[in-house]
Amino acid sequence: VSTQSTGLECTLESGPMLIHYQIEQGVCFLIICHNNFSKKLAFNYLAELAQSFLERYASQIGSASRPYTFIEFETTIRKLMKSYTDSRSPKQLSKINNDLADVQRIMVQNIEDVIQRGEQLSVLDNKANNLSMMSRQYKKESHQLNLNAQQWKYIAAGVGCVLLFLFLRYWVF
């Protein structure tokens, strides 16, 4: 897999252990940890590890010819690993606070979305009630108009009959 400019990350599960890996500029960074270790924290660790390694050794990656070429980077790995596994470290607490802030922001956004949907549903319900009321009014008025139209037909027919009767009575007889 060629990933020169874009990173690739993935998690594999093997029993109680997780293998998280991230590929940056052709180098695979991986961590094996217990499944109760935060996935986000693991990928933050890998991202920081990759950044630190690539800042130091990016120009030497292509020329590495033997195993353990970058063995001196192990001290950086240990320091970084210690800062991520010590739950009292400022970095760990900061990351937990950031995660909590993210969760809070997402929850507030979700609540705002629910409130907005509720308002939209309320407006829609009002419109539906108004439409129902208007349709009942229309039905009632159209029924009344039909009755009035029929009455006028009967009145016109009655007046026509009366006029015909008067015409026949005075002109014919």
Residues 90-147: tens digit of each pLDDT: 666 677 778 888 889 999 999 999 988 888 888 899 999 999 999 999 999 999 999 9
Name the pTM for this structure.
0.50
Q: Is 19 left (phi over 0), alpha (psi -120 to 50) or beta?
A: beta
Query: pLDDT band at 57, cuts 50/70/90?
Result: confident
153: tokens are: 């037909």
pLDDT at 2 over 50: no
What whole-number distance in Å separates Cα of residue 70 and Cα of residue 68?
5
